[in-house]
Amino acid sequence: MNPAEELKQKLPAAVVSTGMQLNKPMAVIKKEELLNAAKKVKEMGFDHLSVITGTDYNDHFEVVYNFFSYEKKQNLVLKVITDHDNPEVDSLTSLWKGADWLERETYDLVGIKFTGHPNLIRILLPDGWVGHPLRKDYDMNTEQFVTMGEGGEDVVSTDGGNLLRRK
Amino acid sequence: MDPVTIDTTKIKTVKKKPVTALEKLEDTGLISTVLAAREREGLILFSTVDQIFNWARLSSLWPVTSGLACCAIEMMAVAMAHHDIARFGMEIFRASPRQADLMFVAGTVTKRMAPRVKQLYEMMPEPKWVIAVGSCASTGGPYHESYAVLKGVDLIIPVDVYIPGCPPRPEAWLYGVIQLREKIKNEGYGAKWGLNK
């Protein structure tokens, strides 16, 4: 039995459906039951949370968690579907320390809010950047520039006047 | 069987080997007015200050140590023994922009890195030159459509030589360096008066 089916047997209320994604067992989890399911996943021996990604499907977001078990050499993928207006899921930082930066990256580029995260700020783009670039509705026509403030901090603006040689 | 005899008078020497300091200087092709001095048996050397300066500048270009992406790996290959950038007197990659007069922009200039690159350029003393290496530094390259990458470093600082490639091979890199040397040779009043020929 693959770990996704095993998870469905243990928590039938949390798992919506199971399947395969790129030869990895995949389970779609209800948004409210994510923390419970994650606890169970950790008990099953998945000690490594390798990647968190977010995907924009125009009408909803998918948050994808990739787990790996060093002991059993198994993969497991969890998916959570959120609504498009206010994408918000529970943070997994209490279970895997590595979720900290992965969730910050997903927040930075896709704009998914992780409730319970200790320090949910942008990780790659500077503070003050407008929009989340991996969303489908991101405005690619207005170019944003970064300049340095007096203390060396990043200042985001759209004109880039003191950076470019000519406008 | 007759021994083969070689008539040494028929052999032409291709080039006379320079012996005196003046002849060596002439051999570099940098100082053109040596001829005038020759007539005075090497006692006087006519030139312009610009030509002497240009010769000194292009003979010891010191690059600033900065690499932004994978092109910097090629920069290391250029600096190592096989391609040996020391032949051009530029093996000293200075760790401070204050002591450098050449900047290789080797790699992708991201929006967040752009003000730092500009500040690095402004910290270098005059005269200074910039070589944009690779398609990223020249135009943005494969990231031209990206929200986070500057579309060419020439948007923020003036560039003297562009080296295409992704990343350019060390041979291309050396060719770009030679082009910059040609450019420096042709700067100033000496070139204006046709003395660099």
Q: Do A140 and B111 touch (CB under 8 A)?
A: no
Nearest by Cα to B31 from B54, B15, B14: B54
Helices (H) and strands (E) counted in chain B, each on its own, are 8, 3
Q: How many CB pairs under 8 A join A and B?
A: 33
Contact A130/B at CB under 8 A: no
* Terminal Cα distance for chain A, rounded: 62
Q: At what angle do helices B170-185 and B71-79 cross, to 10 degrees?
A: 80
Q: Summarize pLDDT for B11-65 with one digit per residue, the tens.
A: 666 667 777 776 776 676 655 555 555 555 555 555 667 778 888 888 889 999 8
Q: Do B148 and A148 touch (CB under 8 A)?
A: no
Strand order in the sheet with B102-106: B102-106, B129-133, B161-163
Which residues, listed in sequence order, are joined to residue A55 by a DSSP beta bridge?
A62
Q: Do B114 and A145 touch (CB under 8 A)?
A: yes
Contact A161/B at CB under 8 A: no
Q: pTM of the full predicted structure?
A: 0.77
Residue B159: half-sphere exposure toward Cβ, Cα within 13 Å: 20
ipTM exceeding 0.95, yes/no: no
Distance from CA of B157 to the nearest CA of A (A): 7
Q: Summarize pLDDT for A2-32 with one digit per residue, the tens.
A: 888 888 888 888 888 888 888 899 999 998 8
Written as six digits, the tokens of B124 are: 């270098």
Burial (CB count within 10 angstroms: exposed 0-12, middle 13-18, buried 19+), residue A20 = exposed
What distance in Å separates the CA atoms of residue A97 and residue A93, rounded to the nearest whole number?
5
